[in-house]
Amino acid sequence: MADLKQLARQIFHETLAAIDIAATMQRKLRRAGTRLLCDGKILDLREFDKLRVVAIGKAAHEMVDGLAQVLAPFLRFEGVVSAPTAPRKPLPGMKYFVGGHPIPNEESWRAAEAILALLKKCDEKTLAFFLLSGGGSALVELPLDPAQTLEDLQKMYRVLVTCGAPIYAINAVRKHLSAVKGGRLTMAAGRATKLTIAISDVPRDYESDIASGPTLPDFSLIPYVEQIIEKYGLEEKAPIAVRRWIDGGKIPETPKGEEPAFTNAHFLLLLGMDDLFHPAHHAAEARGCAACCDNSTDDWPVGLAAEFLLEQLENLKSENPGRRVALIADGEVSSPVTGNGIGGRNSAFVLACVERIAGKKIAVLSAGTDGIDGNSPAAGAVADGETLEMARAIGLDPADAFRRSDAFTLFARLDELIVTGPTGNNLRDLRILIAEP
């Protein structure tokens, strides 16, 4: 069964290698002379005196480099980049910040201030590019309420990311408390022509949740945000300054897209769900698997998602007698933090499968395409039908590790971690389930 784990690793790494941001940028954002062709729209660079670039997210550096290749020799732009890592080769005219994730840091705050200052100078002769990818919510942040401090902001983020709410609910709260989310950067850019280019780590039709939608209209309303705050007990856990803001009825509604600033705002999805499924499906089939893709478990509780996908794997196996099968799934499962251990939703998903696959010819891999899983240094983990026996043989209890949110420690002991380091990309989590006949 070690071969199945290795096979799952190979499919994952081959999928990562197939996601080329710069090549995709040049394919979907083509330049012919001074004309920029973008999803049926034509922008003539001669009509603009200023080019501005705001890049936010885990793929920010790769997106900026890809845009620079498209625009060359029109490289007279300036801008702001906030990513979890420093750039390998900084570009002239760009200010770089190493923001915090999943909790904002001082650089996240400073990046937000720098972006707002940059956009304040935009006018009708400005073309502003917004390059968005996952993780941007924490990498650039500034409260609407000037009374709130960085410490308040960080405490509120810890409350949000550990409350167990689905990501779209968490983002609705973020958007209403933030000066840079929920369409507010489009408002800040005023009369400029705006082009948002995004790499999606969210479900289809939920693009306004990428980096909490700093440039896209927000359709969540204050009553919904109030429901989320009540349902998950956020107010009593929030810092005092945030509670005062909420209790005082000071939360303003987010932009809904009817404002004049959205008239000349455009959106291009650079990479999305299909760009993750296709190479994974191809890699599995190239290795002799009957493969099928499934995206139905997005935002499901981790245990329920594990049970459902393993059932789907068995169905796939029944439909293909005598063949090795692979089920490819994407999206984020819900895995509330219940202990003080190390790990994230990907290693938690694999841990939830360990007892269910014990003794079976099955391997399960789950990993983040960004190379990061929660508070761990791994991207995720892989296990097979022998993992439970191996864990118990060295005194480890998977059920206890799951309760303590400590999947990373268990899989580290078993050499079953997926470690890539930051990949410079961020589509969605990828799960690969393989079964032998």
Q: Residues 48, 191: one domain?
A: yes
Do the beta carbons of residue 350 and residue 407 sit within 8 Å? yes
Q: Residues 171, 225: one domain?
A: yes
Mean pLDDT of 337-356: 94
Q: What is the CATH number of the domain that holds 385?
A: 3.40.1480.10
Is position 219 within any domain? yes
Domain boundary among 272, 306, 325: 272
Is position 134 within any domain? yes
Q: Residues 229, 287: one domain?
A: no
pLDDT given at position 232: 93
Q: Residues 211, 278: one domain?
A: no
Q: Residues 265, 321: one domain?
A: no
Tokens at 87, concatenated = 């750039």
Range of the domain at 388: 2-10+274-435
Pairwise pLDDT comparison (339 vs 54), residue with the higher score: 54
pLDDT tens by residue, 391-404:
999 999 999 999 99
Q: Residues 416, 283: one domain?
A: yes
Q: Residues 58, 177: one domain?
A: yes
Q: Residues 178, 291: one domain?
A: no
Euclidean distance between CA atoms 17 and 286, whole angstroms:
15
Is position 253 within any domain? yes
Pairwise pLDDT comparison (110 vs 101), residue with the higher score: 110
Domain boundary among 222, 244, 272: 272
Is position 293 within any domain? yes
Q: Residues 346, 263: one domain?
A: no
pLDDT at 298 over 80: yes
Q: Which H or E run includes 379?
A: none
Q: Residues 256, 288: one domain?
A: no
pLDDT given at position 203: 76
- What is the full DSSP assignment across 37-65? EETTEEEEGGG-SEEEEEEESTTHHHHHH
pLDDT at 187 over 60: yes
Number of domains within the chain: 2
Is position 167 within any domain? yes
Q: Distance of CA 437 to CAs 4, 183, 274, 389, Å?
A: 12, 50, 28, 21
Q: What is the CATH number of the domain that holds 28?
A: 3.40.50.10180
Is position 429 within any domain? yes
pLDDT at 1 over 70: no
Q: Residues 35, 150: one domain?
A: yes
Do the beta carbons of residue 277 and residue 328 sit within 8 Å? yes
pLDDT given at position 2: 57
Q: Residues 153, 298: one domain?
A: no
Domain boundary among 245, 272, 299: 272
Tokens at 257, concatenated = 């897209």
Is position 15 within any domain? no
